[in-house]
Every structure is written in structure tokens, then in C-alpha cells.
Amino acid sequence: MMLANKQVVLKNYVEGYPKESDFELRSSMISSHIPQGSKGLFVKNLYLACDPYMRHKMSHHISNDVPLLASFNPSSVIIGLGVAKVIKSADADFEEGDYIWGMTAWEVYTLILNTNGLFMIKYTDVPLSYYAGILGMPGLAAYIGFNNLCSAKEGDVFYVSYAAGGVGQLVGQFAEMKGCHLVGSASTDEKVHLLKSQLGFDDAFNYKQGNDLARALKRHFLKSIDVYFENVGGNMLDEVLLHMNLCGRIAVSGMISQYNLKKLDGIHNLFCHISKRLRMKGFSEFDFWHKVPEYLEFPIQLIREKKLLFVEHIAEGLAKCCINFCWYLLWAKCWKEDFSSFN
């Protein structure tokens, strides 16, 4: 059967901040036929995730030595994580009507030829969109980053940048459960309010206010930082290094402030690694796909009991994916609008 499809195509490599003109909304026809011999699925996409790592893949990287961070192919549909419903299945593990999440594409229908890394959605008493968030990759990132890299203990001063983001808000809540003194930063007063009033942050600040990051950190960290969960990079990292405690840990999950820059910011304070015996470790949740089943059992009951919250921003309609993505990467400017539905 032939079906009308719509796709978001990356027209060319993106330089600087993404613009709507970097994307094209393309109409086409797609066959629901699954090629013989393939154990593929034909799915209808329901929720598509807009994740920061995707911006990295929109740039042209000469050495694509890390497959999952390799550049997208221009003129092709954008590949990303999403939640979908199975229309047809040639894989005995899935059947028509099942809900799944995993790697799909920014289009209405997708023919997924390789079902490795797709997950059947087991718990449907929570919003399906959660599988693109708290029960999907951002959740896994927060879980792995927090448990494997932070060595957080009760009483630690724990700082999360980009704290209202998908990963940040979860890491924060995990740290709060551990009994850490939890501080977050975000780019608007609304988000700061959200962190303190709903997400369990002991303190939070708008890092843009006053345009003096050094001063903001001094004011909000009377005691040095034991754990820094790094989501932004750049000047924030440089200043935070000066505020780290002896034997502090830095878990590097993302560097969103850098993804639109041609030349990345220079970090000048790495000598703190010696003077303070710091440990800084990067990770990618993609390496821990095998941990998904273990992870899912952890938050599900907490979500049901409202002990773990997740604040989503959902844009309706495929066309909005690209507009939304531009917004997303201009988060510094646009989160206010993104969060309007939560105020």
C-alpha cells in the first residue's frame, strides 16, 4: 500500500545557528511493503525527540570516527529517536498495534529495516511521550551519568547547568533523592522558579542575569562544588572549574553552548585538575543501550507516585519539528515561549 508521507529533510550542513531554511518539509509517497528477507517494521511516528546531540550531527565532521555522532547525510530525512506505532511487522518480536521507541526518522511513516535497539513500550499508563524523554534517552543519560560518573553522596554540593533541560531536571531530582545540596542554573527566571518550586532544587539562578557568571557562581556557591553535571560547556565550564572542591567530579553529558560555534570557546582553568585533583569524564548514553531495561524499572513507580516529575515541551505537527529545533538550539532566547504552557 502506498501512503502519503511527509519528511523533514536536512538540506545541507548547518553552519552557526540553525535556520528554518536549513530544513525542508518534503511530501512524498511511501510503500508500507517490508522487503522480503528483512525483519523490519513499518511504523507511524507519534513523538519525535529534539535532542541537542542532533545539532552536532548537522555539522560537517571530517572524521566521523564516532558513528553515533557522525554527520547526517544532507538531502536525507533526519534520523532521530522517537515513539511510534507498528503498522506492519516482519519481526516476530513485534506486532501490529504495538508501541515502540528507538531510532526512527522525522517523518510521518518510517520503514525501519533494523529493529536492533528498538524497544517495545511496556508501561502505557504513563504518557507515551515520556518514551522520548524521561523513559527514553534523556532519562537513560541522566541515570547513567548520575550513577556511573558523579560518585555523589549525601551532603555533596551538586551543580547542574541547563538544569531545566530534559537530562538536567532528572539528574537534579536524582541528586536530591541522594541528599545532595542541589543547585541548578537556567536561562530565564521562569525556569529558575520551576526548578525551585517543583523540581526539588535547593537553589537555582538565571545565569544570564547581570551578565556576570563569576559573580553568580560566587553568590550561589558558598561552599565549593563537589559534583558538576556539565550540559553546556564553554565559559560556564571555565568558571565552574574555579569553584570546584578538592577531588571534585565533572560528568560531561553535553556542551550545548558550543554546538553552534565555528571555533569553540577556550577553557583556561584546566590547571584546577591538578590543584584540586579533579576527575572529568565524558560519556554517551548510546553506549548503554543494554541498560535500558534496567533503567526503565527504576523511574516507573516514582513517576506513578509523582515522586519523579518530568516537564516536557511538545510542539504539535511535523512542520514544527524544524521550527522547534531552531528554537531549541536558540534556547537561550526562546525557552520562555517553550515553557509558557507550564506557567
**313 touches 133 (CB < 8 A):** no
Question: Using CB under 8 A, which of 208, 284, 298, 315 touches a copy of itself?
Answer: 284
Identity at 273, one-letter amino acid code = H
Answer yes or no whether residue 252 interacts with a copy of itself by CB under 8 A: yes
Answer yes or no whether residue 187 interacts with a copy of itself by CB under 8 A: no
Quick one: angle between helices 213-220 and 234-243, nearest 10? Answer: 40
Nearer to a copy of itself among residue 4 and residue 264 (C-beta): 264
Q: Output the CA–CA distances (angstroms, integers) from residue 286 to 144, 199, 218, in the order listed.
A: 10, 26, 35
CB of 337 to a copy of itself, least distance (A): 28
Answer yes or no whether residue 49 interacts with a copy of itself by CB under 8 A: no
Answer yes or no whether residue 267 interacts with a copy of itself by CB under 8 A: yes
Which range in 3-11, 40-48, 266-274, 315-323 contacts a copy of itself by CB under 8 A? 266-274
Answer yes or no whether residue 210 interacts with a copy of itself by CB under 8 A: no
Site string for a copy of itself, 89-128 (x = CB under 8 A): ----------------------------------------
Q: Output the CA–CA distances (angstroms, integers) from residue 270 to 151, 267, 323, in the order listed.
A: 21, 7, 37
Q: Output the CA–CA distances (angstroms, integers) from residue 74 to 10, 59, 79, 112, 209, in the order listed.
A: 5, 10, 11, 19, 38
| 124: number of Cβ within 10 Å | 9
Question: Using CB under 8 A, which of 126, 258, 336, 342 touches a copy of itself?
Answer: 258
Answer yes or no whether residue 29 interacts with a copy of itself by CB under 8 A: no
**Nearest-angstrom CA–CA distance, 114 and 38:** 8
Answer yes or no whether residue 281 interacts with a copy of itself by CB under 8 A: yes
Which range in 4-12, 29-37, 280-288, 308-316 contacts a copy of itself by CB under 8 A? 280-288
Answer yes or no whether residue 44 interacts with a copy of itself by CB under 8 A: no
> Which DSSP category does 200 fall into?
-
| 337: number of Cβ within 10 Å | 11
Answer yes or no whether residue 268 interacts with a copy of itself by CB under 8 A: yes
**Nearest-angstrom CA–CA distance, 97 and 180:** 43
Question: Using CB under 8 A, which of 36, 116, 274, 306 touches a copy of itself?
Answer: 274
Answer yes or no whether residue 37 interacts with a copy of itself by CB under 8 A: no
Answer yes or no whether residue 311 interacts with a copy of itself by CB under 8 A: no
Answer yes or no whether residue 52 interacts with a copy of itself by CB under 8 A: no
Collapsing DSSP to helix, strand or coil, 198 comes out as coil
Which range in 28-36, 258-266, 289-297, 303-311 contacts a copy of itself by CB under 8 A? 258-266
Which range in 41-49, 167-175, 274-282, 293-301 contacts a copy of itself by CB under 8 A? 274-282
Q: How far apart are the first and last CA of the chain?
A: 45
**Nearest-angstrom CA–CA distance, 152 and 63:** 35
Q: Output the CA–CA distances (angstroms, integers) from residue 297 to 122, 131, 304, in the order listed.
A: 10, 13, 12
Distance of CA 37 to the CA centre of its chain: 35
Question: Using CB under 8 A, which of 16, 179, 210, 282 touches a copy of itself?
Answer: 282
**244 touches 278 (CB < 8 A):** yes
Which range in 178-186, 208-216, 255-263, 333-341 contacts a copy of itself by CB under 8 A? 255-263
Task: Kindly list the residues in this chain that would bind a copy of itself in the complex (CB under 8 A).
Answer: 65-66, 69, 233, 237, 246, 252-255, 258, 263-284, 287
